[in-house]
Structure 1
Amino acid sequence: MIRRGWLSSLLGLLVSACRPVSVLNAIIPSAGMVLKRDVAYGAHARQRLDIYQPRDLTTAPLPVVLFFYGGSWDSGSKQDYLFVAEALTSQGFMVVIADYRLYPEVKFPQLMQDPASAVFWLKQHIADYQGDPARLFLMGHSAGAHLAMMLSLNASYLAQVGLQTAAIAGTVGLAGPYDFLPLTSARLRAIFAPPEQVWTSQPIHFAHGQHPPLLLMAGLKDDTVWPRNTINLAQAVEASGGNVTLKTYAGYDHVDMVAKLARPFRSRSPLLDDITVWMRQYGG
């Protein structure tokens, strides 16, 4: 049995969702997964994705979850999220974790090009890996939740690759920044410039009724991305007649909202169960 004090120390290693979590991943069992690593969805070195299949395929094709990690739009790496892949494959999902170009190489709205291209690639090719392109879910944490939500709410990004938002079965946002104006740092102002267009970076401005089902989740102790981002977006979508489910977690901070998917932490957390139950409502 893993002692609670040791778990607390391990959770402390996840000071930021964007840091490597090799210590955590080292204790994540991978025997239940088959990994296809560094599959190209474009020509750039960061246009690569990892595909995790449950080793015991009892049914196929499988529902697919495309996960976008956080990192303030300027850092992150797909190999850090083995623990997310293990959590979701344990529930019978195929999991895809994609790298994407980051600031300063790209700024918003160019930041949206790679996530949209990854969705397009999956719709075209995931059937070759026994995934079901008709049951494609998006999921993201922090900045990754922002990317996933922008793809789901602003149809223009998927339109650029010839898709509609109906291509997405549903979207899960974990502790995402959706309503974060005014920009409070020079770095954010650089990422989301020019000032007269910065409103287009805010998912809340695209809340409407014609979008995929949304599951919005936030920890009420999050002081990195304030919970009001999630609550405000949920209220705006609901007011517009959209399909949205809001889940909040007392005592959870920003890191908890992804770390508690990991096997050492999830036995006392409803997070994974809440995600799984919701996705199964929509074809997962």
Structure 2
Amino acid sequence: MLISFKRAAGLACAGLMGWVLSACSPVRIINGLTPTASFDKTSDIAYGADPRQTLDIYRPKQPAPGAPVVIFFYGGSWNSGSRSDYLFVGEALASRGITTVIADYRLYPQVRYPQFLQDSAQATGWTYQHIADYGGNPQRLFLMGHSAGAYNAAMLALDPQWLRAVGMSPASLRGWMGLAGPYDFLPIKDEAVRPVFFYPDSPPESQPVRHVSRAAPPTLLMAAKTDTLVNPTRNTGGLATALRGAGVPVQELYFSRTSHVTLVAALSRPLRWLAPVLDNIGEFVSDH
């Protein structure tokens, strides 16, 4: 169902930009082409005791007073991923005046559902309490994620138990953004994901779509029209319909030139021609 950005991008890196390389490392290429003049980075901040409970902060070079804050959770089937792969995300958002937090979280087999949600909530709680020290405004806080990370963001935004554990609630958020997220995926077909959710006894309450209420914060959902890894009709479309039915403001966007992976890669400067993902995120944050 889900694969990491690094692994999937590797399958197509030469074709995306016409690069023919003997040793193709798409993350290294994209991050290598990412300028650093738009941000100041503070790395390796611990939000918990485990080595995986660590985050980086990207601050705009010239932030406006009370800059909005986005916490980004990456994908990778809850069994792979590293915040270091997503420098291009931090740069993209910082270039739009957004203070950006990119957090690692514990992965399978170290943990299973719901521990990675507890980590995501803990990172959010740390940010809410401390981001003012880095120029961000905790009253303008957004969650964002891609793929499995979009699931994490969705669960925090929709099921109040996770943020309640860190002294917050979904009302503490100005909004959340999901890119190619799995929000309704039982029964699990991906064998790599099955043990993460205790297949075949996967708990129904693990599904974001089951937690929709009118208390949910404003939502921006984006997907690739031809996503073959996470069905956009069932997941993005289904969640958007449920949110809209509950009276939640939701914007639903689909792009024809992106795939599951290149949807997030379109945030990078070399690939922004694929889709206006960054423009849509900037507008959403500005509007809320």
Which moves more between the two structures, 147-156 or 236-245? 236-245
Q: For each residue in 1:226-245, what CA deviation from the matched residue of structure 2 results, as whole angstroms up to 9, or x when unmatched?
A: 11210011011111222211
Of 258, 262, 272, 2:268 maps to 262
Give the aligned partner of residue 214 of structure 1: 219
Of 226, 237, 240, 1:234 maps to 240
CA contact (8 A) 2:78 2:193 kept: no
Q: TM-score, normalised by structure 1?
A: 0.91
Distance in 2, matches of 1:7 and 1:108, equals 34
How far apart are 1:20 and its partner, in Å? 7.0
1:21 aligned counterpart, secondary structure: helix
Q: TM-score, normalised by structure 2?
A: 0.90
Give the aligned partner of residue 8 of structure 1: 17
Q: For each residue in 1:235-278, what CA deviation from the matched residue of structure 2 results, as whole angstroms up to 9, or x when unmatched?
A: 11111222211111123210121011100111453111111111
Q: For each residue in 1:51-106, what CA deviation from the matched residue of structure 2 results, as whole angstroms up to 9, or x when unmatched?
A: 0011123x222111100001110000001001111111111101110001001111
CA contact (8 A) 2:77 2:192 kept: no
How far apart are 1:8 and its partner, in Å? 2.3
Give the aligned partner of residue 54 of structure 1: 60
1:83 aligns with 2:94: no
1:40 aligns with 2:49: no
Q: 1:264 to 1:185 in 2, by over 3 A?
A: closer
Match runs of 1:180-259 below 5 Å: 180-193=185-198, 195-228=200-233, 229-259=235-265
> Where does the alignment leave 5 or more consecutive residues of structure 2 unmatched?
1-13
1:34 aligned counterpart, secondary structure: strand
Supply the RMSD in Å over aligned alpha carbons: 2.1
Q: 1:260 to 1:244 in 2, by over 3 A?
A: same
Letter of the structure 2 residue corresponding to residue 128 of structure 1: D
Question: Matched residues, percent identical?
Answer: 48
Letter of the structure 2 residue corresponding to residue 22 of structure 1: R
Distance in 2, matches of 1:249 and 1:154, equals 28
2:75 aligned counterpart, secondary structure: coil
Distance in 2, matches of 1:255 and 1:131, equals 29
CA contact (8 A) 2:257 2:275 kept: no
Distance in 2, matches of 1:65 and 1:211, equals 17
How far apart are 1:11 and its partner, in Å? 11
Letter of the structure 2 residue corresponding to residue 133 of structure 1: P
Give the aligned partner of residue 104 of structure 2: 99
CA contact (8 A) 1:10 1:24 kept: no
Match runs of 1:54-203 below 5 Å: 54-57=60-63, 59-193=64-198, 195-203=200-208
CA contact (8 A) 1:7 1:264 kept: no
Distance in 2, matches of 1:98 and 1:32, equals 20
> Where does the alignment leave 5 or more consecutive residues of structure 1 unmatched?
none
Q: 1:194 to 1:6 in 2, by over 3 A?
A: closer
Match runs of 1:263-278 below 5 Å: 263-267=269-273, 269-278=275-284
For these two proteins, the number of residue pairs brought into alignment is 273
Q: 1:279 to 1:43 in 2, by over 3 A?
A: same
Distance in 1, matches of 2:21 and 2:76, equals 17
CA contact (8 A) 1:54 1:90 kept: yes
How far apart are 1:7 and its partner, in Å? 5.0
Q: 1:248 to 1:138 in 2, by over 3 A?
A: same
Q: For each residue in 1:88-143, what CA deviation from the matched residue of structure 2 results, as whole angstroms up to 9, or x when unmatched?
A: 11111011100010011111012211100001001110111111000011000000
Q: 1:239 to 1:191 in 2, by over 3 A?
A: same
2:42 aligned counterpart, secondary structure: strand
CA contact (8 A) 2:151 2:182 kept: yes
How far apart are 1:10 and its partner, in Å? 5.4
Which moves more between the two structures, 183-192 or 127-136? 183-192
